[in-house]
Amino acid sequence: MNRFFSLMWGVAAVMVTATNAPALDDFSAFTMKGVGNDVDPFELTCKQYAGLDAGTRRLLTSYLEGYAAEGSSTAYAEGAVRNFEAGILAACAKAPDSPLDELLENVQYDVPEGGAEPGCSALLKTSAPEEAAKLLLWTQGYLESELAENMETDFDQAIHQDTFREDAAAVLEQCKADNEGKLIEVMRTLMMGD
């Protein structure tokens, strides 16, 4: 598994109503249960991954599935994330002490037809904080995998929850300005400072 550049994105509560009125006043209440402020999903052992709160595991799996999808598809499908999680858990059952990094390349899972490239309109219509976080984490994983292919050194792989406020606000600001934008492009632009 390639190491990758960390955008310093994390997970936070992002609640946006269908009327595009974001509830962005306070990200501090959201945390992923069972992990610290900084979590490197690739360094988790299978036992740790399997023992996570189901919601936290799904958020981390969204990131990992985005990382795995880079190079093959820009479509986000919730079903692919669920299937990837099941594949990881099946592989982990055979090697519970292994770090995820050692087995992810061999995880087999079904990617269902459909899905769509995550866009600003999808983010702005998301009413559940976890759904918004999954879109952002999937996109982060996708971009970090893309960057890893172009870099020769290892990067910080941790998801830093405490730095998300600023980054999520910037993504949402860009998305409100262009609700037809693609999250991959919005986040790539913010990451590169263009």
Residue 97: predicted pLDDT: 93
How many Å apart are CA 108 and CA 86, to the nearest integer? 9
pLDDT of res. 17:
30
Q: Please report, in angstroms and rounded to a whole number, the separation of the first and last CA atoms in the chain.
A: 28
Predicted local confidence at residue 173, as pLDDT: 84
175: closest CA among 13, 1, 10, 24?
24
Q: What percent of the chain has pLDDT over 90?
A: 34
Query: Does the pLDDT at position 178 exceed 50?
Result: yes
Q: Are 186 and 121 in contact (CB under 8 A)?
A: no
Q: What is the pLDDT of residues 44-98, one digit of tens each?
A: 999 999 999 999 999 999 999 999 988 788 899 989 999 999 999 999 999 999 9
Query: What's the 3-state SS for the chain?
Result: CCCCCCCCCCCCCCEECCCCCEECCCCCCCCCCCCCCEECHHHCEHHHHHHCCHHHHHHHHHHHHHHHHCCCCCCECHHHHHHHHHHHHHHHHHCCCCEHHHHHHHCCCCCCCCCECCEHHHHHHCCCHHHHHHHHHHHHHHHHHHHHHHCCCCCCCCEEHHHHHHHHHHHHHHHHHCCCCEHHHHHHHHHHCC
Alpha-carbon distance of 101 to 44, in angstroms, equals 8
Average pLDDT on 108-123 reads 87
Which tens digits make up the pLDDT trace of 121-146? 998 888 777 788 888 889 988 988 88
- Read off the pLDDT of residues 9-45 as tens digits, 9 standing for 90 and up: 333 333 333 333 334 334 445 566 778 778 889 999 9
pLDDT band with cut points at 50, 70 and 90 for residue 101: very high
